[in-house]
Amino acid sequence: GNSVTQMEGPVTLSEEAFLTINCTYTATGYPSLFWYVQYPGEGLQLLLKATKADDKGSNKGFEATYRKETTSFHLEKGSVQVSDSAVYFCALIITQGGSEKLVFGKGTKLTVNP
Amino acid sequence: KAGVTQTPRYLIKTRGQQVTLSCSPISGHRSVSWYQQTPGQGLQFLFEYFSETQRNKGNFPGRFSGRQFSNSRSEMNVSTLELGDSALYLCASSLGPGLAGTDTQYFGPGTRLTVL
């Protein structure tokens, strides 16, 4: 089946620290991969995406590379800010039989302290 | 430009009742998707509508249904409510069909449903 596993949180970092949130997937086929973010009190937003192997998605200083060989899509940021505190969701979309299946990870809560 | 709006924002129902949630997409958007978010199961995809037709469907029982109107507004209905249906229900809209990110999805604030 199709599934997404991301590191369990919560993750607490100090401002300017390096961030990695691990995400691995299992899929029957070649999915598109996404990171979504949910800021406190706000709606879910698409953060970045990659649609094929070796693609790198990037936005707001965050990056993730689609690694087919390790079935991973880890989220990284070189220097986090307090405003990055949010819940991050890794997700995949795969097309099967003409229908799209969207699967989310459980989410990782990130808290950045000043 | 107004964002995605969902009504009501909060709802309390009892087991066995049914509920209808509403989602108004961003003007010009024709695709609406619905999601359920719970602490235990996380985020799960319910279904997607485009031009009044259901295009994609997640793994939820038939108690969960939806529809889309000609003005792209969408409703989601849950019949015979169970305690486990308590969740935040999110909808998202995008210009074109599909979930694969060709057109960015914009999410609404959600409807918090509590089943007692």
Whole-angstrom distance, CA of residue B76 vs CA of residue A60: 33
Ranges A1-5, A48-52, A73-77, A93-97, most confident: A73-77
Nearest C-alpha in A relative to B5: A43
Q: Name every residue whose Cβ is closer than 8 Å to that of residue B59 and which is 6 or more positions away in sequence.
A: B44
User: According to the model, what pLDDT value does residue B102 have?
Assistant: 63
Tens digit of each residue's pLDDT (9 = 90 or more) over A27-46: 988 899 999 999 988 888 88
In this structure, how many other beta carbons lie within 10 angstroms of the beta carbon of residue A55? 14
Nearest C-alpha in A relative to B43: A104
Cβ A49–B101 below 8 Å, yes or no? Answer: yes
In total, the C-beta contacts within 8 angstroms joining chain A to chain B are 56
Residue A86 pLDDT grade (very low, low, confident, very high; cuts 50, 70, 90): very high
Cβ B56–A104 below 8 Å, yes or no? Answer: no
Q: Name every residue whose Cβ is closer than 8 Å to that of residue B104 and which is 6 or more positions away in sequence.
A: A46, B94
Nearest C-alpha in B relative to A31: B100
Tens digit of each residue's pLDDT (9 = 90 or more) over A88-113: 999 999 887 777 888 999 999 999 99
Residues of A in contact with B111 (CB under 8 A): none
Residue B101 pLDDT grade (very low, low, confident, very high; cuts 50, 70, 90): low
* DSSP-derived secondary structure for chain A: --EEEE--S-EEEETT--EEE-EEEE-SS--EEEEEEE-TTS-EEEEEEE-STT-EEEETTEEEE-BTTTTB--EEESS--GGG-EEEEEEEEEEETTEEEEEE---EEEEEE-
Cβ A104–B43 below 8 Å, yes or no? Answer: yes
Cβ A43–B107 below 8 Å, yes or no? Answer: yes
At residue A83, what are phi and psi to the nearest 5 degrees? -70, -10
Average pLDDT over residues B63-76: 97
Q: Is B28 helix (H, G, I), strand (E, B) or coil?
A: coil
- Please state whether beta strands A11-14 and A108-113 pair in parallel, antiparallel, or not at all (unpaired): parallel
Contact A24, A105 (CB under 8 A): no
Q: Is B34 helix (H, G, I), strand (E, B) or coil?
A: strand
User: Which residues between 57 and 96 in chain B have a beta carbon less than 8 angstroms from any beta carbon of chain A?
Assistant: 57-58, 90, 92
Cβ B42–A51 below 8 Å, yes or no? Answer: no
Nearest C-alpha in B relative to A39: B109
Dihedral over alpha carbons A51, B37, B91, B21 (to 10 degrees): 160
A63, β-bridge pairs:
A58, A76
User: According to the model, what pLDDT value does residue A28 have?
Assistant: 82
User: According to the model, what pLDDT value does residue A1 have?
Assistant: 79
User: According to the model, what pLDDT value does residue A98 have?
Assistant: 76
Distances (CA, A) of B9 to A17, A19, A89, B109: 36, 34, 23, 8
Whole-angstrom distance, CA of residue A10 vs CA of residue B114: 25
